[in-house]
Structure 1
Amino acid sequence: MPDVDRGRAWLLTVNGAPQSYVDLDEPEHLEFEYVRRLGHVLDCAAQPGRALDLLHLGGGALTLPRYAAATRPGSRQDVVEFDAALVELVAEHLPLPAAAGITVHAADARAWLEAAPAGSADVLVADVFHGSRVPAQLTSVEYARQAARVLRPGGLYAANLADGAPFGFLRSQLANAAEVFGELALVAEPPVLRGRRFGNAVLLASDAPLQVAALARRCAADAFAARVEHGEPLARFMRGALPVADADAAPSPEPPEGAFSLG
């Protein structure tokens, strides 16, 4: 069950695992490493301060939508969260500021995406986990095509994923994205990319050139430094990987015990 630790800053846990961290007085503060990387991605998605239309699949405590509302005022954001009880809990304990421009929908992410208008989003962020795994319906090439359809020309897709060596899941997700997007990048900590431990990786895709240099500088300078793989190194990483159809799609792998605990 969802639970919220009370205080000035709030930690949302689901079944004992950390799910979201929100500082109501400082929405630009991002605590978790992978969320900080998604924040860097949003910072590099357009000129600083420019309002964007964003679609978030997966909501949690709305950490990233709050960040986008603070850093890109005037943005319009739709958040799709499957867990209706979580949506109610967050609305009660962590209310959004007035005129935040954020609309939260209790709905299935894949169904919402398929019904969304074509070319309706500048950025699509996917951070959907059922327990500790990405659901199978969000791991197929058909899903990737729907994501591309909803984005405007030059739009950006960013997905939080999790895997470990030999990276069968992560490589298949890159292969899915490569079927429908012209540009790919991957952001992760070096120990994860070297296969030394299981962890998060942010997949980026677009039909336009990605701001790789700017993003790499931000990620390298972060307190939790990460690397941006792109071009030939990424092509080598995913060599031989094949896209996965809906009929064969599976959830992301079960993480090792303690991989995402507060530790």
Structure 2
Amino acid sequence: MLKIVILGTGNLAKHLYTAFIKANAVDIVQVVGRNQKELEQFSMHSTLSNDFAFIADADVYLIAVKDDAITEVSQHLLKKKGIVAHTSGALGLKAIQPANKGVLYPLQTFTKGKTVDFSSIPICIEAEEKESLETLRTLANSISENVHHIDSEQRKKLHLAAVFVNNFTNYLFSIGEELCLEEGLSFDLLKPLISETADKIQAMSPKEAQTGPARRNDTKSMDSHLKLLNKKEHIALYKLLSQAIKQAHEKEL
């Protein structure tokens, strides 16, 4: 059984904790964090510590904190023999100070209070030592059937891609909701369209699935849309995205 310590009490730490407590081959021996109130939410199944000077021995130490705090937290583990792994998509192995370093990055968006099924979530692992990589693979396989060895440079680009397909699209959803509400319409009217857009790329590439006025260079519709927008940032975004789509498909127009 793999013994692990989770360092952090935020959103990702809670989701990982919930997943690992269900894994038969994993024992969460301790959760460490400075926020005592948040730390108490982990008390049912594990021992707790808000003092980084008293961290239990374990096979793997998972650092699930904000990116800018990872290096600082890892310094508390310099004397530990286990693997010290962060959970960030944007940072490389060098963010970890101890020699036995690794990464265990779940590629998913996590929302407070919303349960996710870890079994299908891609988990990206990396380590400098072959034995450590296999240990991380075993740990990741205990909660997911979708585990991949991805190096730091690949993971950084993957994280960037995730920002485009998740964070940016969600912002576009928020604009769509705002435009609906301006007319007293329910955003629910757009949800079947959103679902179909996501479903289509399961069967074809996003470029092949592209539709809309910019794709067919329908300037009349685009000009009409621009007149309906009130915010400068929305107008700029509409123009920028429309131009990018036109350029991507200009050979087909």
Higher helix fraction (1 or 2): 2
Higher strand fraction (1 or 2): 1
Q: Same fold (TM over 0.5)?
A: no
Could you say which structure has the larger radius of gyration? 2
Q: The TM-score by the shorter chain falls in which range?
A: 0.3 to 0.5
The two structures have a TM-score, normalised by structure 2, of 0.40
User: With CA pairs under 8 Å and 6+ residues apart, which has the higher RCO, 1 or 2?
Assistant: 1
